Amino acid sequence: MNTPLRLGIAGLGTVGIGVVKIVRQHAALLGARTGREITISAVSARSRDKDRGVNLSGYAWEDDPVALATRDDVDVYIELMGGTDGPAKASVEAAIKAGKDVVTANKAMLAIHGQALAEAAEAAGVSLRYEAAVAGGIPVIKALTEGLAGNQVTRIVGVMNGSCNYILTRMESAGLPYADVFAEADGLGYLEADPQLDVGGIDAAHKLAILSAIAFGTRVDFDGIELEGIERVSIDDIRHADDMGYKIKLLGVAQKTGRGLEQRMMPCLVPATSPMGQLQGGTNMVAIEGDAVEQVVLRGPGAGEGPTASAVMGDVSDIARGLRLPVFGQPATGLEAATRTTSLLPAPYYLRTSLVDKPGALAKIATVLGEAGVSIDRMRQYGHNDTTAPVLIVTHKCTRAALDTALAAMDGTGVIASEPVVLRIESV
């Protein structure tokens, strides 16, 4: 067996402790599979005194993650602190400069600084691996860079944030409004310290930006994602969607067309009978469509100690075996900036609003839609109060531009009592 592969771990939260446990519990298995003993030399975290349920006294301690990243007895620097910039970025840059291989779970850092870090790592001849940054324990990065390397990827679509999926499925199963389930999820520790990263779709969009870069050979372009969170999805929307055979999911979609790269992360309706429609709780699912393989669907836990630590150790094992790949599947210097585009392909849409309860209100809305070239597939009016009447419309396939024209015209009808909620109906 070769010389040991020595790890330095920065960040001893749930995932970091999970990595320590795997290294200890599966030492013989890891050695048999990689041909090298894998050990931990040193660790770093904000507090030395915190009880983490694991004895760490056998490892050297560094208060400064940059110092950890550059230690002589560290071969692979594992960054599990998180954060777009600050100590995470500084320590990863220091590790690369010092000739260390790097494994990270930091999706935000890669989505914003991935191109620069990839170029630095490849110039230094070191690995920068990040399976744990996207979809927890699902090996979607490996699938794209290795297993599906013979495909021209045509589309990626997925549910990539378990917290949002938990909220939406819990709203449906318990019949609770968004605010109640949000508070419940926050109390259970399911949300980030800044919950907007989850419910605003930002966390999931970071993941989509990374997958897009690999799939389509472009530079990571987080700012090019059309982004909308789940805050405006109501229990009524969920019930209405269910009535029509759909479920609401925070859905990421990326596809490259002749016009450029389309990336969007937003609530959509999907068929209730589809794999994504049946996805419950905190589970993630990513579907990859390619010209040779057609469609591959990957499903699994999107977060948590075991799944995310498993992904980290998958990367460590590849480094131990000597596997070297470009960070985004192709040399970083050859990646081109994506030409941004929005979807021009027609799709059906779900539209919910409230109308002033007076004669002819519904007819005015139907007329406005027709004049914009939007035809109605289904229309339902629900119980009303003394002044307003909720109405639900499902369109036939139309472009978003035509629908936006109709929505603008609705403002001038004098019958709209609430801002319309519009959700795309996606085929998956």
Q: Looking at this protein, which amino acid is placed at residue 49?
A: D
Q: How many Å apart are CA 175 and CA 263, to the nearest integer?
A: 32
Q: Looking at this protein, which amino acid is placed at residue 351?
A: L
**Active-site annotation holder among 207, 249, 256, 364:** 207
Number of Cβ within 10 Å of residue 232's Cβ equals 14
Helix 162-174, helix 235-243: angle, nearest 10: 80
User: Tokens at residue 55, please?
Assistant: 């004895």
Q: How many Å apart are CA 108 and CA 114, to the nearest integer?
A: 9
Q: How many Å apart are CA 346 and CA 396, to the nearest integer?
A: 9
Give the residue from 24, 315, 264 showing the smallest Cα distance to 160: 264
Give the residue from 108, 109, 110 showing the smallest Cα distance to 332: 110
Q: How many Å apart are CA 322 and CA 38, to the nearest integer?
A: 13
Active site includes 358? no
Measure the CA angle with vertex 252, ends 120 and 370; round to 5°.
135
The region, left, alpha or beta by phi > 0 then psi within -120 to 50, assigned to residue 99 is left
- Residues with catalytic annotation? 207
